[in-house]
Structure 1
Amino acid sequence: MTDNLFSSLKLPQSMLDNLADLGYKTMTPIQAQSLPHALDGKDLIAKAKTGSGKTAAFAIGLLLRIKQRDFGTQALILCPTRELSSQVAKELRRLARFQSNLKVVTLCGGQPIGPQIGSLAHGAHIVVGTPGRIQDHLRKGTLNLERCHTLVLDEADRMLDMGFNEQINKVADYTPSKRQTLLFSATYPDNILKLSKNLQRDPVEISVDAVHDQGKIEELFYCLDGVDKPSGLTKLLARHPASSIVLFCNTKAQCSDIEEYLRNLGYFAKALHGDLDQRERDQVLVQFANRSCTILIATDVAARGLDISDLELVINYDLPRDPEIYVHRIGRTGRADKQGTAVSLYKPSELYKLDAISEYQNKAPVCFSIPELEVVHAEAPQPSMRTLAILAGRRDKIRPGDILGALTGDAGIPGSDVGKIDVTDYNTYVAVKRSEARKAHSRLIEGKIKGRRFKVRML
């Protein structure tokens, strides 16, 4: 259908060319429904989940309204977590490649405020961040939103769940009343509608219920029936071997316990939770995304906003109480025309949760008993890659090409053995084939990157 093509919208050719280069061909449902209204300057309240393409749905119109010669903040995007803020900022920079000299600044808690103040002193066209830290900058006078024409609330329901209602309203008070407000939420509870009423003018309501084709996801439920949960998990992992797994727990403490349990069994597992500082969180996410870690263990809050490509398996170690959260969890697999698998553990006393999920999805669950599983013992799979951390980043003018050149040039590592390269402000992470990791590490330590020596360690 031609009306689902980005070229059907009134967009500059330079933007269309950039979208094509980025692999944006046809619009996703949320983009097709949102963009015409967003481009008309209307307020939106849109129901859409992670992976639906909502970043482009709000970013394309926003970018077209940016005046590059004006270094005042013209757009503000509020997100619930640092991870989502970083992902949104990264995608914004990609989508903005058709423009030159457009500055996107990320402002999140858990990071030093000094460098953020320094970045803002030189101006920022777009600011992305968490409500608490944005409010800190507004109080200090280091952020001015008088010229902000677009306010975006991304994953608004999660921000309200995390207690940010008051901060969101106070931040909005610093923006002009004649602004465009775009609100994106995975669910529509009453408090979202109240927030919309406070901040928006005659918003267009858009709802995209499904972000994945359930036919692409094999859903299996395993009853523990007298078997302890960790043992049941071991059987599941042997029964469903995969190289990329997200395992959901309901509590932070459970995440830490399962991480220790799996690592003792030889699995390359990492937990993502609130006790990690920003550098540690970055390292966990980078290692999982670049295939240096097999299992990511997380709560719903920690995993919110994660968009992992080619995820083979989702495990619900704990079933959620809300069936909508269950559907949101499993929707991280089975994307982009690929098949996925979601497996869940449950106790006989949790049958009511299965009933709720069954009713919500309008289909009967496929159930098995853990004690009846015949599973041949299998060794924990080794990740294909290993991550090297280099103590240098964007602030040192490092680019991915510099790292690739250092590895494939002086170090003599084949380009096919070098994986994903992630450059942050102060650190760079590069995935190298496991068999070449030690060689790459020693060569980088002995050699130079852009004529300089930097500290390098293996994670």
Structure 2
Amino acid sequence: MNTPEFSSLPLKPALLENIESLGYTHLTPIQAESLPHILEGKDVIAQAKTGSGKTAAFGIGLLSRLDLSSFKVQAMVICPTRELADQVCKEIRQLARFTQNIKVLALCGGTPFAPQRSSLEHGVHVVVGTPGRLQEHLQKASLRLDHLKVLVLDEADRMLDMGFADIISDVISYAPTHRQTLLFSATYAEPIRALSQKFQFKPVSVSVETSHHDNPIEQRFHQVDKAKRLNALGYLLAYHRPESTVVFCNTKRECQDVADTLSNCGFSVQALHGDLEQKDRDQVLVRFANKSCSILVATDVAARGLDIKDMQAVINYELPWDPEVYIHRIGRTGRAGAKGLALSLVSEAELNRVKAIEDYMAGSVKWDEIAPFKLSSEHRFEPPMVTLWIDGGRKDKMRPGDILGALTGANGIAGSEVGKIDIFDKHAYVAVKRGSADKALTCLRAGKIKGRNFNVRKSQWH
């Protein structure tokens, strides 16, 4: 299918000429779906990943709304990290080359405040920034949004993951009610829908990924002897290597036994069942959601309300009696148009449960072989992230931006190496990519957060 050309859009000739000089001729799918609505001034919620052309979509949209004779902030883009904000700034400047007069300014933490304030005083059309620094400028009145026409939330899911929800709400409270709000996110999870309801007016939903396949969950069944079930589970985990998988057991006892065995054999695993205290449950879910623990062994009751994005696989260590419970279990993978994998181990005694599932789904299930595999303590399956525990939290007025700033300051790590940030009353957790964990730990121990020293250590729970 041929996507439309930029020349088919109602753009100013100078802007169109510049877009074509950059080598853009045809719209990417996300641009084709979103730009007509954006140019009509409608609010848009778009599901789009990095590399989909989303920056050009909202960049062209906001540039077409600017009154260049007025040096007031008319468009604001909120990004999760300094790197992304710099990248967005660069692309908007490229798209805006058609006129010498346009001023685009990056407002990010980790860089001096005073020069930013000075640039704002000289007049700016577009600001692109991270939540904490934008909030600081608004609170100090160096940034005013009285003339704002377009507000963009870029990678909104990542900003929520990093704990910026309250700061974003505060930043938006400074903006006029009559504005266009564009929300871009890689997922459509419930927190994103809630964000949209709070800040958008009758938004048009745009998604280009979910239409490619009717059922994104691939289901496979494996018949095994009851005595070989644990080895079969080890084989599936070692073969597929999912970064994030839930293994369902039918009892608390089995749940703990399976988790202990996998842990002893080098897998990154935690158990989630009804006997856990709330504090322990919080810690387990923090590590699983931020990908510093790859496997969660859970009972159905304990997994209620579990909504983890990017869950790559669900494994039924044992099939549930009720086919509806099976459907509910596997529905936790394959979210937001991503491919999901549902694997089930079945003993001979459970074949009648498979028949019930086939009747419920009105179709046959797919059977697969399992190669011989022996669990042993020689394996080592490291998760992609490591969690750092910080001995300070909400009661210390700690915010996600403080932790991010401390990690990415001088001699720190890149913002792209930082994952989910979770702040509790008396402590906080931050996930960092495994290769940067030691540097991040040194950085936080040597430096200060909010001008104070806090105890920091790697979190390990089994």
What residue in structure 1 maps to residue 254 of structure 2?
254
| Cα distance in structure 2, aligned partners of 1:424 and 1:368 | 44
What residue in structure 2 maps to residue 419 of structure 1?
419
- Taking the TM superposition and a 5 Å limit, the aligned residue runs for 1:102-181 are none
Segments of 4+ in structure 1 off by > 2 A? 19-23, 90-101, 225-228, 238-241, 274-279, 373-381
| Cα distance in structure 1, aligned partners of 2:448 and 2:218 | 48
- Opposite residue 333 of structure 1, the aligned amino acid is T
The total of aligned residue pairs comes to 275
| Cα distance in structure 2, aligned partners of 1:448 and 1:334 | 40
- Taking the TM superposition and a 5 Å limit, the aligned residue runs for 1:376-391 are 379-391=379-391
| Cα distance in structure 2, aligned partners of 1:400 and 1:454 | 15
Distance apart, 1:365 and its partner CA: 1.2
TM-score by length of 2: 0.53
What residue in structure 2 maps to residue 208 of structure 1?
none
Distance apart, 1:416 and its partner CA: 2.1
- Structure 2 SS opposite 1:336: helix
Change (3 A) 1:258 1:411: farther
1:332 paired with 2:332, answer: yes
Distance apart, 1:291 and its partner CA: 1.2
Uncovered stretches (5+) of structure 1, i.e. residues with no partner? 24-86, 102-153, 155-212
What residue in structure 2 maps to residue 456 of structure 1?
456
What residue in structure 2 maps to residue 48 of structure 1?
none
1:291 paired with 2:291, answer: yes
1:341 paired with 2:345, answer: no
- Taking the TM superposition and a 5 Å limit, the aligned residue runs for 1:265-414 are 265-370=265-370, 373=371, 379-410=379-410, 412-414=412-414
Deviations 1:263-286 (A, max 9, x none): 111000011122222222111111
Change (3 A) 1:303 1:92: farther
Deviations 1:16-59 (A, max 9, x none): 68x77999xxxxxxxxxxxxxxxxxxxxxxxxxxxxxxxxxxxx
Change (3 A) 1:411 1:297: farther
| Cα distance in structure 1, aligned partners of 2:320 and 2:214 | 18
Change (3 A) 1:380 1:324: farther
Distance apart, 1:297 and its partner CA: 1.1
| Cα distance in structure 2, aligned partners of 1:362 and 1:21 | 31
| Cα distance in structure 2, aligned partners of 1:453 and 1:217 | 47
Give aligned-pair identity as a percent. Answer: 49
Distance apart, 1:395 and its partner CA: 2.0
Change (3 A) 1:22 1:347: closer
Change (3 A) 1:277 1:427: same
Check whether the contact 2:412–2:439 (CA below 8 A) recurs between aligned residues: no
- Structure 2 SS opposite 1:388: strand
For the aligned residue pairs, the C-alpha RMSD in angstroms reads: 3.6
| Cα distance in structure 2, aligned partners of 1:300 and 1:230 | 19
What residue in structure 1 maps to residue 230 of structure 2?
230
Check whether the contact 1:224–1:369 (CA below 8 A) recurs between aligned residues: no
| Cα distance in structure 2, aligned partners of 1:445 and 1:91 | 23
Distance apart, 1:325 and its partner CA: 0.8
Distance apart, 1:248 and its partner CA: 0.7
Check whether the contact 2:385–2:431 (CA below 8 A) recurs between aligned residues: yes
| Cα distance in structure 2, aligned partners of 1:91 and 1:436 | 22
Q: Which has the larger radius of gyration?
A: 2
| Cα distance in structure 1, aligned partners of 2:270 and 2:409 | 32
Distance apart, 1:249 and its partner CA: 0.8
1:219 paired with 2:227, answer: no
| Cα distance in structure 1, aligned partners of 2:345 and 2:311 | 19
Distance apart, 1:95 and its partner CA: 9.8
| Cα distance in structure 1, aligned partners of 2:247 and 2:395 | 34
Distance apart, 1:216 and its partner CA: 1.1
Deviations 1:44-93 (A, max 9, x none): xxxxxxxxxxxxxxxxxxxxxxxxxxxxxxxxxxxxxxxxxxx9xx9996
| Cα distance in structure 2, aligned partners of 1:426 and 1:298 | 27
Deviations 1:432-451 (A, max 9, x none): 12122123223312321011
